Amino acid sequence: MTRSNKNRRKVRWGRLFGALLLIGIIIVGLFHIFQYIEGTIKAVNQPLKKVERKQTFQGEKNKLDAINVLLLGSDSRGEKQARTDSIMVAHYDPQTHKIKLISLMRDMLVSVPEHGQQKLNAAYSFGGPELLRETIKENFGLDIQYYASVDFKGFEKAVDLLVPNGIEVDVPYEMSHGIGMTLEKGKQQLHGKELLGYVRFRHDRLSDFGRIQRQQEVISKLTDEAVTLHSVVKLPKLLGLINKYIDTNIDGSTLLTIGKDILMKKSRDIETIRIPEDGSFQNKRDEVLGDVLEVDFDQNIEALNNFIEAKSSVQNEAQKE
C-alpha cells in the first residue's frame, strides 16, 4: 500500500470519527433537552408544596400588575412557632421585567394586628406568613400577593445543586459564633452549608445590617449562576426541591414567567434596598422585647415607594426618545 493511500485512509477515519463525535454530542444534547422539557412539564402540572394553615394567605393577585413576593428564611427546628432569620420582599414588574429586592430588618418595632407593639419577625411566630403580610401592609402600606418560606436545609441543597463548585465570597473576618462552624477570613469557595452560615452570621459590629448585606450579595450571585446553561438543565430538579423544602402559594405558571425573564437575562440585574434606611431609625432597649429599632415610618414608606416606582436611567432615556 502506498503512502498516499495510507494518508487518505487516515483522513477518512479522522472524518468518520469527527462525524461520530458530533452525532454523539447532538444525541446527548437532545437527551438533556428532552429531560429538561419533560421534567419541567411534570413539575408545572404538579401543584407546588402547600402547608395547611389556620389562615390562608390573602394577598390579592392580578397577573397584569407588578407582584410582590414575601421571601422568608425559616429555621423551624421542629417547633410549632418557627422563627424567621430573614424577611425580604421581591418586587417583579412584568412590563419592565425588573426585579427589585427589599430587605426588612427583623428587629423593627412595629404594630402587629391583635398583638400590639412587637418586633417584625414576631408576626411570623404568632401567625405565619399571613400575619406577617398583614403587619407589613399595616405598617408600610405594601401589598404582597405571594410568599415563599425556605427551609434552611432546602437552601443548602439548592446551592449545592445549582453551584456544585460553590460560590466565591470574601469573608471579611473569622465567623463562627452562632453558625455551627468556623469560616476563615479571606476569599474562598463556599458550598451550601458554609454559605448558609455566611448569610446567617450576625455577631459582629454590623449585626443584622451586615447579615442583610451578605444576603443580598449571595442572592445576586446565585441569580448570575441561574442564567448559565448548565443550570437550565437542572430546572426540573430545582422545582423538585421547591416541592420538598419550600412552603409557597406561587403557582407554577407565575414561577416560570419570572424564571424565563431571568434565564433570558431580562431580569439579570437586581436592585436592592434595606428598610429602615440610614438616618430613619434609632436603636432602643425595650424592657420586654430587648433591643429594637424604632423607625420613622413616614420616611421609610416614602423611600420604599420611590424605590419601587423608580425606573432605570436606560428606561428613562428610552421613553424620552
Q: Which grid cell is 34?
A: 428532552
- Per domain, the residue ranges of the chain are 67-320
The DSSP symbol for 144 reads -
pLDDT digits (tens, 9 = 90+) for 69-83: 999 987 655 455 566
Preceding peptide of 276 cis, ω within 30°: yes
Q: How far apart are CA 239 and CA 231, in angstroms?
A: 12
Q: Given this model, what pLDDT does residue 297 score?
A: 97
Per-position b or e across 202-239, b if 16+ CB within 10 A of its CB: beeeeebebbbebbbbbbeebbbebeeeebbebbbbbb
User: What parts of the chain have a pLDDT lower than 50?
Assistant: 6, 25-38, 40-41, 43-45, 47-55, 78, 312-321
Q: Shortest CA distance to 198 belongs to which of 40, 86, 43, 65?
A: 86
- Number of H helices and E strands in the chain, helices first, is 10, 12
Rounded to two decimals, what is the model's pTM?
A: 0.72
**Level-2 CATH architecture, domain 67-320:** 3-Layer(aba) Sandwich (3.40)
Which are the contacts of 118, defined by CB distance < 8 A and separation ≥ 6?
109, 110, 111, 112, 126, 289
